[in-house]
Chain A
Amino acid sequence: MKTKFLIGILAVVIGIIGSVIVLASENALVVHPKGIVAQNELELIVVNIILMLIIIVPTYILLFSVVWKYCIKNEKAKYDPDHTFGPIGELMMWGLPTIVVIVMAIVTWDATHELNPYKPLESDVKPLVVQVVALDWKWLFIYPEQGIATLNYFFIPERTPIHLHLSADGTPMNSFWIPQLGGQIYSMTGMTTQLFLMADGLGEYTGRAVEINGEGYADMTFPVKSTSAQDFADWVELVKKSPSHLTGDLYNELVKPAVNKSTIFFSEVESNLYNKILDKYMYPTEPVL
């Protein structure tokens, strides 16, 4: 009995140490945020976990001490087959979780409004607008103000709010996720959603699709790079020299389902492309592209 107990304790300790090592490593993206949105979401996660532990840890202690004390082997324990706690005890059992849930509800209401993905981020810098289109199975990023676009590559200036408009074309539902910068939002064909993100500093991250959409699902990832504002401006100039132009015809080629992990920079983009993509599904009988 005693050895079994020790083995159990040892297993728990190994498990906890292993978990801590994993969570401490840089690979644990959600717990190592590099942007204000992900940072705020992590703080909320921690607050929620603490609130729940306040009630769960004592419950575990209660569970094991009751089992320990009233186990049939312990002959000294009092046996009262008709014992109940009565109305006041029951009221407390309803009341205690209710209090915790009320606190959590208030936190949730506030946080949900505060961290609404559509809510602009506070910053002195003017937001950079990027239009994201999920295709089967690649990501197209259009920078309308710069008049450029990229395939499978997301380049952003640091400490600048990024205002994303997301849609999809000819693909099932997708979820856009850059764990280190912030939470997900769906990108859906014929629909448009929005998301604000901001990188705190220079760095490289990974983004991906997080909703099953077929053969190329696992490969639908893209690198994200945040640089200084100056480097970003230089990069835009560089892209503008690229020989590739994203014309309507080329776009129609891109829409066709294919696993395509190549990075392409487009120096020119079909005018008003994002809205035309949306219009395809508003007026299905008229060719818009």
Chain B
Amino acid sequence: MRDFFFGKLTWDAVPHVWYTIGGTVFIILAAIAIGIYLTLTKRWGWLWNEWLTSTDPKKIGTMYMVFASLMFFRGMLDAGMVWLQQAIAADSQGYLTADHFQQIFTSHGDIMVFFVTMSFFFGLMNWIVPLQIGARDLAFPFLNSLGFWLTVSGGLLINLFFVIGGDFANTGWLAIAPFSELEFNPSVGVDYLIWSLQLSGAGSLLAGINFLVTIIKKRAPGMTLMKMPLFTWNSLCAMVLIISAFPVLTATTLLLWLDRAFEMHFFTIGYAGNQMMYWNLIWMWGHPEVYILVIPAFGMFSEIVSTFSQKKTSGYVSMVWAALTITTLSFLVWLHHFFVMGAGPNVNSFFGIVTMLIAIPAGVQVFNWIFTMYKGKINLASPMYWFIGFLVLFMIGGMAGIFMASPPADFQVHNSLFLVAHFHTMIVGVALFGIFAGITFWFPKIFGFKLNERLDKQAFWFWFAGFFVAFMPLYLLGFMGAPRRIDHYAAATGWQPLYITALAGFCFILCGIATQVYLVIESIKNRKQNLDTTGDPWNGRTLEWATHSPPPFYNFATVPYITSHEVFWDMKKKGWEREKKYEDIECFKNTGMGIYISIFAFLLGFGIVWQIIWLIVLSLVGVIACIIRLSFDDEMEYVLPAEEVAKIEEAYHRG
């Protein structure tokens, strides 16, 4: 009976160590503060009607951005704690226990990959992809809202262990088996990890399907595939990866959970479980996943370099094929994550060589980015700073990657800090720099004013210098034989000075983040000086710059006919003016159903983590009931009459 009502939940689950008490207090205080603010300013209704229930991709994109930023602070806190521990833990235990340390880097990895980088990219895609292809909305506006809220519920679940449970997984971000099995990890930490990934994975999959269908079906007339802007192309590639790879993650972590909940033996060390199978499966998803994190950034940089060089993209067709090649190859390289498992030399060299093949399309992209600037007029605005910083780091990270693709070389750096340095070069230098560049670039489009140029450049220098100070020591530490994920080490290894240098680099990066926070506040405060009244602040080339800034919720009053992948540039050359012919527009109503379903999904995840049977049943019924209710909703769209459109457009023209 007790099991039915409380499952594994006991009084031990309430916070009783400093970090869970601290986390709980922080979460409660933050919730109260937000509640008081909203009540005092009477903004509950505004928040609910204008934002939370919105199906407008631009608003959902902004919510993705806010969510990703919040999670980014959490992830950076973890990073700081890890670095501080390693800087002081020579011949001593430092200030963290081994278990706590391991939980911190695990949550750092999961949060940064799933809730920061992916959320930022979904945010940017929501902002820009519909505008770039001349669509008024996504193919499935409701699914978009649901996907976002599922991601949020995953994000809440991954932080919930502070309040209830007190333990997170200590397995590394992939919950690597057999270490994540019940035998070695009896607490609910791994279950929290599994189920927050299930929720956010479902959200990502829905978003992936949505964007794929949108890009395939909702392009403006005349926009054939080879007339799509490169950001859209790269987004499409990333979506193909998401749709093909995420079901593997869902299935793999589900099998792991079956092992844990029902004592099955898929990946256990005994009873014919196969631990090596987990590694194969998780990396079959994991390698495409890291390309999901960088491919959209490639697309953004292609747009940025061409816009700020005032020049046509060099080798558009090559760039498309390069993205497609990387997409395909990313499924054929997973084994390079465990060359040291003892596979024979034929298998190892196959996967090593396929990995090296990725250098070919990557090289094509690098050359074309450089040659896009050749004979251009390069305006070194702040997105270009991020772009050049990215190219510098991308080549270093790529070189380290190809280096490790050679199996015998990998034997000497596998699981060392060299590897950690490599993938941070890629995730920070490519994905994050891409996100920062993209946000700076498209911010005026979405909000109608530019970000402060000077502060953004300052932030860039902090990040760029900080990156070198923080991560170059890790490359060296790899050559010194320092493994990743150790909580303390002998002083005789000589590692400590480098760990301290890395911590100093982290402080640089913190200054960069502080500058970025100030940058946003300052830019909002002084927005009057940086208003973008034309809708085209950078002399842009693609369709998103043809509409107003910020765009009306229907994006385009009239959708132009697309003649090339730089259609707006061509239109401007021919002397373009906004058409004043208006038509009825079909719009999608707001709906709270995405939130309701996600609340039930969150409760479902919580119930499964603690094995509370009534809660599982209730929340499953809740999810199904919501879906049935939704299917009876015949009037999710409404028609915005042409006169209304005309009024809104006139208001824009008056300024």
Contact = CB atoms under 8 A, between A and B. Distances in A.
A83 B375 CA distance: 7
Interface stretch (B289-297, B405-413, B426-434): B405-413
A121 to B, nearest CB: 14
A173 B275 contact: yes
Given A63-B370, A108-B353, A190-B269, A182 B411 contact: yes
Contacts of A96: 363, 367
B476 interface: yes
B378 A101 contact: no
A252 B478 CA distance: 35
B338 A104 contact: no
Interface string A86-108: 00011001101110110011011
A67 B375 CA distance: 10
A186 B341 contact: yes
A226 B115 CA distance: 49
Given A52-B403, A101-B357, A85 B476 contact: no
Given A62-B370, A193-B342, A172 B178 contact: yes
B507 interface: no
Given A72-B378, A112-B408, A67 B373 contact: yes
B98 interface: yes
A157 interface: no
Contacts of A83: 311-312, 314, 374-375
Contact of B412 (A104, A172, A179, A280): A179
B408 A111 contact: yes
B356 A101 contact: yes
A203 interface: no
Interface size grouping (class) on chain B: 35 or more
Contacts, number: 277
B360 interface: yes
A120 interface: no
A97 B359 contact: yes
Contact of A108 (B352, B364, B416, B476): B352
A217 interface: yes
A104 B376 contact: no
A101 B359 contact: yes
Given A30-B480, A104-B402, A215-B98, A79 B171 contact: no
Contacts of A180: 481
A186 B363 contact: no
Given A48-B403, A60-B392, 13 more contacts: A11-B468, A49-B403, A56-B395, A63-B392, A78-B375, A82-B311, A93-B318, A93-B363, A93-B371, A193-B342, A213-B184, A217-B486, A218-B486
Lowest 5 CB-CB distances: which A-B pairs, in order? A183-B411, A97-B363, A27-B494, A172-B179, A115-B408
Interface of B: 98-99, 102, 170-172, 176, 178-179, 184, 269-271, 275-276, 279, 309-312, 314-315, 317-318, 338, 340-342, 344-345, 348-349, 352-353, 356-357, 359-360, 362-364, 366-368, 370-371, 373-380, 388, 391-392, 395, 399, 402-403, 405-416, 465, 468, 472, 476, 478-481, 483, 485-490, 493-495, 498
Interface of A: 11, 15, 19, 22-23, 25, 27-31, 38, 40-42, 44-45, 48-49, 52-53, 55-56, 59-60, 62-63, 66-67, 70-72, 77-85, 89-90, 93-94, 96-98, 100-101, 104-105, 107-109, 111-118, 170-173, 175, 177, 179-180, 182-186, 188-191, 193-194, 206, 208-218, 221, 280-281, 284
15 contacts: A28-B476, A29-B480, A30-B481, A48-B406, A79-B310, A83-B374, A89-B371, A104-B402, A104-B406, A173-B179, A183-B414, A188-B275, A189-B178, A191-B342, A210-B483
